[in-house]
């Protein structure tokens, strides 16, 4: 399979094109040569076959050939709202959630979060995670980028969360919930919003606030999963039941 690159501009018709800097850098790093076949996608759906025409010092010119209307997105829209795990666990979570087809990730800081970011660092982290998601889309064949929303506190996010629309269900992952997720009587849904806590768990007040916003508390079995494992387990479970 030819290497795939995301281009941050709309691809509309066949013809010659100078790759935007990030994609050009990737092509340079792989030392591709004129004549090499590559695949490009712009995140709006579908992908394009292309051929490298010329490699300059920083410029890479390509010939955009045909658009292929491939569809590899998860039809069921899953949003993971999660209290960010500390260190590089969040990077790995973004990577794996993207591979599994997540539609959006909402990074949160909650009462017991270990990771505390000021506004400037939070913005830097979000751009970094967008880069991680792009790389995971390139590798996994996705044609749409997941949204990585700006970091918020759980309290502010819950306060601004509109009521669930028809077709959306909300799950609060809580190790002490009585209801096992797999046995939940499931309403027909096309969208699921999953809220998952930090290393130290969500506080009882936070869980209550989430319930007031329409979240149903569910547990994932008797073992405590790490803050990065629990949301991925639910996403994988949903993704495998709704593969396309």
Does residue 78 contact residue 194 with C-beta atoms inside 8 Å? Answer: yes
Q: Going by C-beta distance under 8 Å and a sequence separation of 6 or more, which residues neighbour residue 123?
A: 150
Interface residue with ligand SAH among 146, 174, 206, 232 (CB under 6 A) is 174
Quote the crossing angle between the two packed helices 89-100 and 229-241, to the nearest 10°: 10
Residue 183, both tokens = 């046995």
Interface residue with ligand SAH among 97, 136, 196, 238 (CB under 6 A) is 196
State yes or no: residue 180 binds ligand SAH (CB under 6 A).
no
Quick note: the x/- pattern for ligand SAH over 144-173, rule CB under 6 A, is -----------------------------x
Q: Identify which of residues 15 and 221 has a Cβ nearer to ligand SAH in the complex.
A: 221
State yes or no: residue 134 binds ligand SAH (CB under 6 A).
no
Q: Shortest gap between Cβ of 196 and ligand SAH (angstroms)?
A: 4
Q: Shortest gap between Cβ of 150 and ligand SAH (angstroms)?
A: 21
Chain mean position to CA 5: 17
Number of residues that bind ligand SAH (CB under 6 A): 16
State yes or no: residue 235 binds ligand SAH (CB under 6 A).
no
- The number of C-alpha atoms within 13 Å of 189 and in the hemisphere containing its C-beta is 17
**Cβ count near 14 (within 10 Å):** 14
Q: Which stretch binds ligand SAH (CB under 6 A): 35-43, 72-80, 122-130, 217-225?
A: 217-225
CA distances from 46 to 38, 86, 244 (A): 14, 35, 15
C-alpha 192/C-alpha 103 separation (Å) is 10
State yes or no: residue 204 binds ligand SAH (CB under 6 A).
no
Given the rule CB under 6 A, which residues bind ligand SAH? Answer: 173-175, 196-197, 200-202, 219-221, 223-225, 227, 230
């Amino acid at each position: 399979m030819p290497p795939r690159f995301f281009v941050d501009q709309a691809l509309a018709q066949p013809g010659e094109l100078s790759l935007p800097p990030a994609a050009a850098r990737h092509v340079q790093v792989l030392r591709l040569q004129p004549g090499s076949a590559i695949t490009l996608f712009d995140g709006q759906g579908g992908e394009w076959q292309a051929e490298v025409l010329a490699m300059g010092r920083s410029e890479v010119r390509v010939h955009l050939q045909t658009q292929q209307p491939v569809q590899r997105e998860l039809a069921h829209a899953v949003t993971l709202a999660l209290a960010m795990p500390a260190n590089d666990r969040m990077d790995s979570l973004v990577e794996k959630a993207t591979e599994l087809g997540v539609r959006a990730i909402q990074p949160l800081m909650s009462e017991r979060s270990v990771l505390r970011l000021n506004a400037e660092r939070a913005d830097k982290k979000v751009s970094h995670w967008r880069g991680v998601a792009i790389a995971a889309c390139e590798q996994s064949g996705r044609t749409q980028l997941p949204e990585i929303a700006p970091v918020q506190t759980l309290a502010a996010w819950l306060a601004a969360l509109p009521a669930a629309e028809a077709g959306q269900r909300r799950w609060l992952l809580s190790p002490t919930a009585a209801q096992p997720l797999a046995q939940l009587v499931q309403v027909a849904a096309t969208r699921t919003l999953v809220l998952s806590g930090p290393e130290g768990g969500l506080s009882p007040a936070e869980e209550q606030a989430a319930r007031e916003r329409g979240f149903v508390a569910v547990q994932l079995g008797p073992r405590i999963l790490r803050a990065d494992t629990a949301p991925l387990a639910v996403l994988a479970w949903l993704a495998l039941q709704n593969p396309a």
